[in-house]
Amino acid sequence: MGKTLVEKSPRKVQAPADTSSAGHGWMTVLFNDDWHTFPEVAHQLVKAVRCTYERGLALANVVHHTGSAIVYHGTKERCEAVAVVLEDIKLKTQVCQ
């Protein structure tokens, strides 16, 4: 009896709308806090960076365990727009190069 190998195709992951780094050396950093829930943060990340809810939860988990995470790379203007959406629910962010 021979074994049959099943080849899995790579999973497609939805990326933020503007991820090219050519001339877009800006980033939005999200910081941890003690009052927002994981679902609240994930839902706001969906709105801000156009990711899936699952990706939003994963990013929220990184922020929770490390204190902060880069949640978006792009142009300065787009990074600032992402920060505004996150700050709508009083999340703490920073836009930097």
11-24 pLDDT, tens digit each: 443 444 444 445 58
Domain ranges, residue 66? 26-96
In a domain, 6, yes or no: no
The whole-model pTM stands at: 0.75
Greatest CA separation for the chain:
61
In a domain, 11, yes or no: no
Alpha-helical (H) ranges within 1-97 are: 38-49, 53-66, 76-87
Determine the residue type at 33.
D
In a domain, 1, yes or no: no
Burial class of 65 by CB neighbour count within 10 A (0 to 12, 13 to 18, 19+)? exposed
Q: What is the DSSP letter of 70?
A: E
Give residue-wise pLDDT tens across range 57-93: 999 999 999 999 999 999 999 999 999 999 999 999 9
CATH number for position 66? 3.30.1390.10
In a domain, 88, yes or no: yes
Cβ atoms of 73 and 19 closer than 8 Å: yes
In a domain, 78, yes or no: yes
Number of domains in the chain: 1
